[in-house]
Structure 1
Amino acid sequence: MAVSAGLNGWVVSLPREEALRSASSTSFRSSSFLGATCRSCHGARIAGISAGRGGRVVVSVSARAPALSPQSRNSSKVEDMKKLRLITAIKTPYLPDGRFDLQAYDDLVAQQINHGVEGLIVGGTTGEGQLMDWEEHIMLIAHTVNYFGKRIKVIGNTGSNSTMEATHATDQGFAVGMHGSLQINPYYGKTSNSGLIKHFNSVMRFGPTIIYNVPARTGQDIEPAVIEQLSGHPHFVGLKECVGNNRVEYYTKQNLTVWSGNDDQSHDTRWNFGGQGVISVTSNLIPGLMKSIIRDQKNEELNAKLLPLMNWLFIEPNPIGVNTALSQLGVIRPVFRLPYVPLDVEKRRLFVKIVETIGREHFVGDKPVQVLEDDEFLLLARF
């Protein structure tokens, strides 16, 4: 049995056979998993159970876990994080009841690693962290670290518009072993530049931090004056910048590390404006080709060939496009947590044509791409 800290309790990894025996024996004092008492977990109350990899079951239990000391954390050195070029904002697949499909998730992560991706954003916008409760969020970070943390950098999206939530989640994310955190500026209930600086300083104290600037989602630009003050913090890694390449170039001339947050600009960010690389949605689908244009060499011809796919992915707000695409590739079940719904059938047909143009062999998975019908998608309002 492996145990690690979760946001509101412990994350326990049990052999699958042991967990199944426990379900029908006195190890669980209730006929229901949730709320039952787990003797293997020292009498704690069970908050959730998910299928794991390699014949194990991930159990989250509700006794609050203490944060680990800084010496016990698994965070990477800031300089190591700065070297990453291709980071995938990884998709979170679902089962028909809305729980995480960890088998599909593990397969998707393995394909990212096998094609040269160096880092993952777990529970970001693409991974639908905004639709998770914090227990799910921290469990997924812990699961990713447990199975893949020695092969790829795990960066947990633990930001929030509440400083209290962001600091607590970031503390717990590093406690379960993530290598770095992604932090967004407070959205909707926006604050002043002075408030931004205090907010980010509060979360950066736990470990290496990438700041994420996406005004189209937050409604507020993180101005260079804010970044310049934060850049002196010992845990400041760099920023994911979505404003454009003029802003990227401004920062890179100051020797700051910047990843493009816009796939369609990322080739030029990397080769023409001094950017480090990209935090990518498109690499969920074509990790090998994204590696080619970001890590290997400047390739304007290949980048031009990929632009129709990148543009298609953002016809509607992310992650609608990538969810639809992975479903049609047969890599994930066509299950959506609302408010996200699939792209309409004409756009689904267009995706098949794009795949055929680029070549199915360059996409994740090994099933033929297909046009799914409306009634093949499952939309969940409660999960």
Structure 2
Amino acid sequence: MCSLKSYSVCLREATLQLPTFSSNSNRKRTNVRWCSPESAMLQDFHLPMRSFEVKNRTSVDEIKSLRLITALKTPYLPDGRFDLEAYDALMHMQVLSGAEGVIVGGTTGEGQLMSWDEHIMLIGHTVNCFGGLIKVIGNTGSNSTREAIHATEQGFAVGMHAALHINPYYGKTSMEGMVAHFEAVLPMGPTIIYNVPSRTGQDIPPPVIHTVMQSANMAGVKECVGNNRIKEYTDKGIVAWSGNDDQCHDARWGHGATGVVSVASNLVPGLMRELMFEGKNSSLNAKLMPLIEWLFHEPNPVGLNTALAQLGVVRPVFRLPYVPLPLARRVEFLNIVKELGRENFVGDKDVQVLDDDDFGLVGRY
């Protein structure tokens, strides 16, 4: 920013010394001081996307207080493009049902199947339409630090309230490398770190979290290892959200978790809000278990995508490599909806089983 300020000063000085011309026919030009843009002078000079006057600027404490965050599904048109009409309807249901935040383009939202252009566009669209009603947390993490930096700059530039960051997956790195990776993105704004070793192949150990908690922008951890890890953090004053729907009730009321980043709240946001807001409720938690177990019988978001299609709130279109659950599982969902009550689920259409031919699978989009 200092470099940009110095550049603007040079421009002002240059403006004050514009060429002057004599009245004679030769029109001799006087000496003019000119300051070249540093971006043209310095190799690898980087112009940041983010400014210090980002709209929807949110305090870290606001993010720390969120109890129900929905990892939102991304719906598609038949050709595989985003179905923004269905997306907005899903967002509207989350707002009306009392969700306090949404993760845009996370694992559930299939950010891994998006280009970065799609990713940032969807974050910006969500902010512009719903940013005044709900906190928008953009998944701008990557196993490439360079990509994570660039995506996070863009995400905050279009107004997201916070960033979600995964540890470098597949290639992995050392503990020191994890710290360096997170420290490269934390200065940009409020940040939640996401630990899910079953997907990344590498745990984020507590010493890494304790180190990066020194950053003023570190909001907390979405933790999927389990409730003992969550308690280890909360006992030391570190904010943690359960990343496991099946454990979130006990995490919230028995282990100090602030709340949950939920997949199930795509389907039953009102019931998940009740679970997070209204005190210990083992009966409701047990009632939700068949739905949660069904959702995660196959890797997320396979079950969620199938369920939302059966409820008629999204088109039955899948971006590969995701495919719908088989017929027997779709029949099971029908029975689960009847047991919990259709009124507790999103949408207003009758739940259907759907035939195999009703689903569209898109490999190129």
1:164 alignment partner AA? R
User: Map of 1:15-26 to 2, 5 A cutoff?
Assistant: none
Q: Give the corresponding residue for 2:126.
A: 144
How far is 1:73 from its partner?
Answer: 4.5
Question: What do you get for the CA RMSD once the two structures are aligned?
Answer: 1.1
> Of 302, 311, 333, which residue of structure 2 is paired with 1:329?
311
- Determine if the alignment matches structure 1 residue 345 to structure 2 residue 327: yes
How far is 1:70 from its partner?
Answer: 1.9
> Of 276, 290, 315, which residue of structure 2 is paired with 1:294?
276
Conserved in 1, the CA contact under 8 Å of 2:183 and 2:212? yes
| TM-score normalised over the length of structure 2 | 0.87
CA offsets 1:333-352 (integer angstroms, 9 cap, x no match): 00000000000100000000
Greater fraction strand: 1
Conserved in 1, the CA contact under 8 Å of 2:48 and 2:153? no
CA offsets 1:53-103 (integer angstroms, 9 cap, x no match): xxxxxxxxxxxx961312335331001111100000000000001110000
Separation of aligned partners in 2, 1:374 and 1:222: 40
> Of 254, 271, 281, which residue of structure 1 is paired with 2:236?
254
> Of 162, 182, 185, which residue of structure 1 is paired with 2:164?
182
Conserved in 2, the CA contact under 8 Å of 1:81 and 1:237? yes
Q: Give the corresponding residue for 1:88.
A: 70
Separation of aligned partners in 1, 2:315 and 2:116: 23
Conserved in 2, the CA contact under 8 Å of 1:122 and 1:155? yes
- Determine if the alignment matches structure 1 residue 235 to structure 2 residue 189: no
Secondary structure of residue in 1 paired with 2:247: helix
Percent sequence identity is 64
1:340 alignment partner AA? Y
Conserved in 1, the CA contact under 8 Å of 2:56 and 2:131? no
Conserved in 2, the CA contact under 8 Å of 1:75 and 1:208? no
Conserved in 1, the CA contact under 8 Å of 2:310 and 2:353? yes
Conserved in 2, the CA contact under 8 Å of 1:75 and 1:180? no
Separation of aligned partners in 2, 1:75 and 1:129: 23
1:117 alignment partner AA? A
CA offsets 1:264-301 (integer angstroms, 9 cap, x no match): 00000000101000000000000000000111221100
Q: Give the corresponding residue for 1:37.
A: none
Q: Give the corresponding residue for 1:159.
A: 141
> Of 68, 85, 99, which residue of structure 1 is paired with 2:81?
99
Separation of aligned partners in 2, 1:224 and 1:73: 33
Question: Larger Cα Rg: Structure 1 or Structure 2?
Answer: 2
Unmatched 5+ residue regions in structure 2? 1-46
Conserved in 2, the CA contact under 8 Å of 1:269 and 1:275? yes
Separation of aligned partners in 2, 1:352 and 1:331: 15
| Number of residue pairs aligned between Structure 1 and Structure 2 | 320
Conserved in 2, the CA contact under 8 Å of 1:335 and 1:380? yes
1:328 alignment partner AA? Q
Unmatched 5+ residue regions in structure 1? 1-64
CA offsets 1:244-264 (integer angstroms, 9 cap, x no match): 000000000001100000000
Q: Give the corresponding residue for 2:174.
A: 192
